[in-house]
Structures are given as C-alpha cells and as structure tokens.
C-alpha cells in the first residue's frame, strides 16, 4: 500500500471516531441525561401557623419541631422575664448624725457665740455692755425669761471670779446654755410595737414648714434603726403630698396608705393606715396630716378628730409638731395653738442650719414643756438628726 492509501485510511478512521462521539452526545442530550450527580429534591415548605397553632418569632424553632427532625436536641423554652426590682436605699445610721452635721449648725449659729464672747471678754463691763449681751440673746429667739436668767448668771460669775478671761467666759457660757437647753429631757421617739399594735406617730404643722418631707426623712431615720415602718398620707387636700410621701417610702421600702380621691376624709385615711400597720405587724405608723393655719379653728378641730379615730385602734404615742426655725416668734404662736388642740409630745425644728435663731430651742421647750426631738440641717434625705443638746451648744459656743 502506497503512502497516499495509508493517509486516506487514517483520515477515514478519525472521521468515524469523531462522528461516533457526536452521535453519543446527541443521544445523551435528547434523553435529558447529565454527567454530574443529581441535586436532592427540596422538601415542601411547611406553614408553621397551620402546623403548630403558634406564630413563632423570626429565627425561632419550636421544641416539638426540633424533636420531629430527629436532631435529638430539645430547645429549652425561654424563662419569663421578671421585672427588675429597684434597689432600696440604705439610710445612714442616725446615731451621731448631729455630730456630722455640726459644722452646718455652727456656720449659722456660731455668730451668737462669737458676739457674746467678744462682749464678755472685754473686761470692765458696764450696763451698756450687758444690754448688748441681752439684745444678742433676744435676737437669737432665746426668749425674755431665759435671756434674763442667762445674763444674771453670767453677771454673777464675772463679779465673783473677777475675770473676763475668754476661755473662762466660754466655759460659763457653755454650761449656762446647756442648762437652759436641758439635757435631762427625754428626747427618744416612741417607735416600738406594744401590746400587738404598732407605735403611732402623728405629724402636724402649718404649710411650708417641710412637714411631708420631715415625715419621709423620719421614716429613713427609723429604717436605719431596723424598724418596720408604714406611712399614712392623711394630707388629702394636696394631691402632691400623697405622691411625695409615696416616693419617699419607695426609696427605702416603706409602704404608703393613701386615698386616690382628692379631699377624702383625712381621719378615714389615718384609720386605714393604722389598720394596715396592725395587719402587717409594722413597728411604726407615721401619719402625715394636712398643713393648717393655727388661726383656722375648723382645721385645728380636725386634728383632734384624726387622733380620736386612730385611737379606736391604737394609742397615738407621739404627736410631733414641725416648726420652721426661721419664723421666730410667729412659730412660737403656732406652737402654742397646736398644743391647745392636740397633746404635743415633741418638736421638730426644720431649717435650723439657715438661721442664727438657735435660741428658739430653749424658747419652745419652755413654752410647751416638751423637748425638741429632731432638727433639720439641710436638704439631703439624711439631714434630719436626733437633737443632741451637747453637740448643739458646742456648735454655738465652739
């Protein structure tokens, strides 16, 4: 076979192979066949609303659905979210609080001591000097009777000792003032359960003295002493008073009994508060009353009614009169009128850090025959302090 014949044979063979391959490809294409693996069929979509009866949150899978898939893992249902409980404040102990606040008291009242010491330390005191001493004491609201007693005592000591040494004069002034303030008076707050009922404290006073705020602060003082306290919002004439007292209570975990009806009977609210205190086995129930002018006889009579109604359940152990120390002699007249209507057992003097009239402590105690038990020395929640005669006199004299 020649070369031409061989070439022809090779071309023929290649042509057959190519045509055969094309025939196979055409057959595969017409039959729908493919050379790769087939994809798994997609499962039908499940309407979860119809299947489970619940509308699930996006991205969530029900516990039953997971188990049906055979995954073997159960999804724990979410625990219900509990509302956050606000943390309660823990008031600082009232013990020694006046010592901490002494600097505030001294800033306003030490002027009295400085003037007196300056006058008494001059030497060779004449009648004009003693009149200046009297005027200084009267300006501090010490009262005429107490002022005369103090001046007579100082005169005698200067005359007998024959000296006006500043240190000696300071000691005389300190001792005489302390005697007038009377450290022997019982200044404890009746705040303990007795015979199965809580102690009841009635707080009274005129508008603007800080009465409701004082009730809130007194609650903090007692909570600091581990007392179980309940508030009674019997000031029903001023809607803001009940809200204010409720807020004070919430901060330290003290519940408040109140009426949501403006102008409700204050005696009824006070009664319900004491009733609630008995049921809750509270140690103390503190009742806030509406501020009233001492000249308004009808409102003053209402105080007597509140006290009578409350005492059907439990005796009122304390009636605290809140006085604004800056009102001076007007405050004294208020105190005397309140004392005629209800048996006052103690005085709370507010705003004592903002006045040089510290002598009102002596004056009000003498007029009413009851002790100053608490004093307010600032705007802070823990700026109400049990009255300490020694610390008080020390802040004046230095």
> Annotated binding residue at 292?
yes
Flag whether 246 is marked binding: no
Give the model's confidence band at 245: pLDDT under 50 very low, under 70 low, under 90 confident, else very high: very high
What's the pLDDT at 32? 47
Q: Is 109 annotated as a binding residue?
A: no
Residue 283 among known ligand-binding residues: no
Instruction: Give tens-digit pLDDT for 74-116.
Output: 333 344 555 555 678 888 787 777 777 777 777 766 667 788 8
Cα dihedral sign, 109-324-209-220 = positive
- Output the pLDDT for position 258: 94
- The CATH number given to 199-344 is 3.40.50.300
pLDDT of 38 reads: 35
212 annotated as belonging to a binding site for a ligand: yes
Under a CB-based contact definition with an 8 Å cutoff, are residues 193 and 199 in contact? Answer: yes
Does 24 carry a binding-site annotation? no
Mean pLDDT computed over 318-334: 86
Q: Which of 35-44, 265-274, 379-388 has the lowest mean pLDDT?
A: 35-44
The arithmetic mean of pLDDT across residues 242-262, rounded, is: 92
- Please give the structure tokens belonging to residue 130: 């003693």
Query: What CATH architecture applies to the domain 97-181?
Result: Up-down Bundle (1.20)
Q: pLDDT value at position 185?
A: 96
CATH 3.40.50.300 domain position(s) in the chain: 199-344
Summarised one tens digit per residue, pLDDT across range 49-74 is 333 333 223 333 333 332 333 333 33
pLDDT at 104: 76
214 is in an annotated binding site: no
Q: Is the pLDDT of residue 254 over 60?
A: yes
289 appears as a binding residue in the annotation = yes
Q: Is residue 291 part of an annotated ligand binding site?
A: yes
Give tens-digit pLDDT for 349-378. 998 877 767 888 999 999 899 999 999 988
Mean of the pLDDT values across residues 28-40? 42
pLDDT at 339 over 70: yes
**Is 190 assigned a ligand-binding role in the annotation?**
no
206 is in an annotated binding site: yes
Kindly report which listed range (19-33, 47-61, 179-193, 311-325) carries the lowest average pLDDT score.
47-61
| Mean predicted confidence (pLDDT) in 156-182 | 89
**What mean pLDDT is reported for the chain?**
78
Residues of the chain with CATH 1.20.120: 97-181
Please give the Cα distance from 348 to 288 (Å, whole number). 14
Q: Please, how many CA atoms are within 13 Å of residue 280, restricted to the half-sphere of its CB?
A: 20
How far CA 37 is from CA of 24, 28, 29, 397, in Å, comes to 19, 15, 16, 104
57 labeled part of a ligand binding site: no
pLDDT at 199: 97
């Amino acid at each position: 076979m020649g070369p031409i014949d061989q070439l022809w044979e090779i071309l023929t063979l290649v042509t057959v192979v190519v045509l055969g391959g094309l025939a196979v490809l055409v057959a595969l294409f017409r039959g729908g066949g493919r050379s790769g693996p087939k994809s798994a069929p997609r499962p039908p979509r499940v309407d979860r609303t119809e299947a489970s009866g619940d509308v699930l949150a996006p991205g969530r899978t029900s516990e039953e659905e997971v188990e049906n898939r055979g995954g073997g893992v159960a999804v724990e249902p979410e625990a219900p979210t509990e509302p956050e409980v606000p943390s309660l404040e823990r008031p600082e102990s009232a013990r020694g609080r006046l010592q901490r606040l002494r600097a505030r008291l001294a800033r306003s009242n030490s002027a009295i001591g400085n003037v007196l010491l300056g006058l008494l330390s001059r030497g060779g005191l004449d009648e004009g000097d003693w009149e200046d001493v009297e005027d200084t004491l009267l300006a501090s609201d010490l009262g005429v009777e107490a002022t005369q007693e103090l001046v007579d005592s100082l005169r005698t000591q200067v005359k007998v000792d024959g000296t006006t040494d500043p240190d000696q004069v300071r000691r005389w002034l300190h001792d005489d003032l302390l005697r007038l303030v009377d450290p022997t008076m019982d200044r404890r707050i009746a705040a303990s359960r007795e015979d199965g009922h809580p102690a009841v404290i009635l707080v009274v006073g005129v508008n603007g003295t800080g009465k409701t705020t004082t009730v809130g602060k007194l609650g903090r003082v007692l909570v600091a002493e581990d007392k179980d306290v309940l508030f009674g919002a019997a000031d029903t004439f001023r809607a803001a008073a009940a809200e204010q007292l409720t807020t004070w209570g919430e901060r330290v975990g003290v519940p408040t009994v109140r009426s949501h009806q403006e102008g409700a009977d204050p005696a009824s609210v006070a009664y319900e508060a004491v009733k609630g205190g008995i049921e809750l086995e509270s140690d103390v129930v503190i009742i806030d009353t509406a501020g009233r002018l001492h000249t308004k006889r009808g409102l003053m009579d209402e105080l007597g009614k509140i006290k009578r109604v409350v005492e059907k359940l439990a005796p009122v152990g304390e009636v605290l009169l809140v006085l604004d120390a800056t009102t001076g002699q007007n405050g004294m007249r208020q105190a005397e009128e309140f004392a005629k209507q209800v048996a006052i057992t103690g005085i709370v003097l507010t705003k004592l850090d903002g006045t040089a009239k510290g002598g009102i402590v002596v004056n009000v105690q003498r007029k009413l025959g009851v002790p100053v038990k608490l004093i307010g020395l600032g705007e802070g929640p823990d700026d109400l302090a049990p009255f300490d005669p020694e610390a008080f006199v020390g802040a004046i004299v230095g």
